[in-house]
């Protein structure tokens, strides 16, 4: 189950090394700014904004990473981010799967309106809506609770998941489902045992998308999570650099640490995405 990619029909061409070279160039472009960020975390704060700049630290120091990971405030923020992002992702899956399945399989009145509503909800930026979001959670006496933030993040990211999953469900031949029905499976069982495994790449895409969106959300969390220990990383991290005190090294060390869980999550589930997606071309 390790890195075995499905065998592709076309043999590896002689362009392989060239492609690798191009691939690493692309990787370098996307990584370069973050490499600078790592290097900034590895130098004293006063060296980060030095004029003239130097790419490599003039003095190497990993102290910032130690400062950050032993800081209880940071650990609280990290925990909030993890809890909220994971839970939002689960909520999105749970809510979007039935909706996407139903919209893909059945023609019902208001179907188009439903899909349109989903699309339109994406157009509102939380920045513009934050006052109303605060009001409704305030009235529900849920300001400053994880649940409020989880549900808000889930709602704002539902649309993409429904879109993606709908496409996958629609693409699964009915015959598969009908055969299962003959075997005596109920609709729920068909969905969980047969369709979901088949739509795995879609699920993976939805998971990545939702997790990242929730992980990076700023303005809603800023407004809803008032208790310092309940802030997520995106909000808490602004404490490192204020108008009065600048801990640039710690800001970037914290940022580097904040990227890691997302990349790890991606690395863990990426092979499912790859496997599923490439399987299409094996057919």
Partner 1 sequence: MPEATTAPPSGSAVQPVRATSRRPRRPGPPGWVALLWLGPALALILAVVVYPAVALVRASLARYSITGLRTGSAGFGDYRRVLHHPDLGRVLSNTAIWVVGVLVLTILAGLAVAQLLSKDFWGRRLVRWAVIVPWAASLVITARLFTLLLDYYHGVVNEILLDLHVISSPVDFLGSDSWILPSMIAVGVFVSVPFTAYVFLAGLNSIPGDVYEAARMDGATGWQTYVRITLPLLRPALLVATVLNIIYVFNSFPIVYTLNDRNPGFGHDTSITFMYKLAFKSSEHDVGMSAAAGVGNVLLILVVVAVYLRFVARDEVED
Partner 2 sequence: MERRVVVRHTGLAGGVALALVLAACGGGTGASSSSSGSGGGASSSSGSGGGGKVSSITLMAAEYSKDHTAAFWNDFAQKYQAKTGIKLNVQVVSWDDIDQQASTAIQNSNPPDILNLNAYASYAKDGLLYSSDEVLDPAVKSDVLDAFVKSGTYQGKLYGMPDLSSARALFYNKTLFQQAGISAPPKTWDEFEADAKKVSALGKGTVGYAMPLGPEEAQAEFSIWLFNNGGNWKTDGKWTINSDKNVQTLTFLKKLAVTDKVTENNPGKTNRTDGAFALFSSGKAGMVVGFSPLQGQLDKDKKVDYGIAPMPTSDGSTPQTYGVTDYLMAFKKNGNQDAVKAFYQLYYQPDEVNTFIKAEGFLPVTKSGVQTFASEASLKVYLDTLPQTHLTPTDDPAWDKVKLAVQQGIGAAVGPSGDPKKVLDGLQQQAEAGS
CB-CB neighbours of 187 under 10 Å: 14
Question: Taking CB under 8 A as the rule, does residue 52 contact partner 1?
Answer: yes
Of 19 and 62, which has the nearer Cβ to partner 1? 19
Half-sphere exposure (Cβ direction) of 36: Cα atoms closer than 13 Å: 11
Asked whether position 46 contacts partner 1 by CB under 8 A, the answer is: no
Three-state DSSP class for residue 122: coil
| Long-range contacts (CB closer than 8 Å, 24 or more residues apart) made by 12-20 | none
Among 68, 74, 87, 201, binds partner 1 (CB under 8 A): 201
Using the CB atoms, write b or e for 225-260: b if 16+ within 10 Å: beeeebbbbbbbbebbbeeeeebbbbbbbbbbbbee
| Residues 156-195 close enough to bind partner 2 by CB under 8 A | 192-193
CB of 28 to partner 2, least distance (A): 27
CA distance 178 to 169: 14
Stretch that binds partner 1, among 57-65, 66-74, 216-224 (CB under 8 A): 216-224
Is residue 200 at the binding interface for partner 2, with CB under 8 A as the rule?
yes
DSSP for residue 228: G
171 makes contact, choosing from partner 2, partner 1, none, with CB < 5 to 8 Å by partner type, with partner 1
Letters for 2-31 (x = contact with partner 2 by CB under 8 A, - = none) are: ------------------------------
Could you give the 3-state DSSP secondary structure of residue 241? strand
Interaction site with partner 2 (CB under 8 A): 1, 44-46, 49-52, 73, 87, 90-91, 93-95, 130-131, 134-145, 147-148, 150-151, 192-193, 196-197, 200, 222-224, 226-228, 238-247, 250
């Amino acid at each position: 189950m390790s890195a075995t990619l499905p065998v592709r029909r076309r043999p590896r061409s002689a362009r392989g090394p060239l492609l690798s070279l191009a691939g690493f160039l692309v990787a370098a472009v996307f990584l370069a700014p973050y490499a600078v960020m790592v290097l900034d975390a590895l130098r004293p704060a006063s060296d980060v904004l030095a004029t003239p700049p130097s790419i490599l630290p003039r003095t190497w120091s990993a102290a910032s990473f130690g400062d950050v990971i032993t800081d209880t405030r940071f650990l609280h923020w990290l925990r909030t981010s993890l809890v909220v992002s994971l839970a939002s992702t689960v909520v999105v899956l749970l809510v979007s799967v039935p909706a996407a399945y139903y919209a893909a399989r059945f023609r019902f009145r208001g179907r188009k309106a439903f899909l349109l509503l989903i699309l339109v909800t994406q157009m509102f930026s939380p920045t513009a809506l934050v006052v109303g979001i605060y009001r409704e959670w305030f009235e529900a006496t849920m300001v400053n609770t994880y649940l409020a933030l989880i549900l808000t993040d889930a709602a704002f990211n539902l649309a993409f998941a429904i879109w993606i999953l709908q496409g996958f469900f629609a693409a699964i031949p009915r015959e598969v489902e009908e055969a299962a029905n003959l075997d005596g499976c109920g609709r729920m069982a068909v969905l969980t045992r047969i369709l979901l495994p088949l739509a795995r790449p879609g699920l993976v895409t939805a998971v990545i998308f939702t997790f990242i969106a929730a992980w990076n959300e700023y303005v809603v969390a800023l407004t809803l999570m008032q208790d310092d220990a309940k802030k997520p990383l995106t909000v808490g991290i602004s404490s490192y650099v204020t108008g009065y005190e600048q801990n640039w090294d710690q800001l970037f060390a914290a940022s580097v640490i904040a990227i890691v869980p997302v990349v790890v999550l991606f690395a863990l589930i990426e092979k499912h995405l790859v496997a599923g997606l490439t399987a299409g071309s094996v057919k």
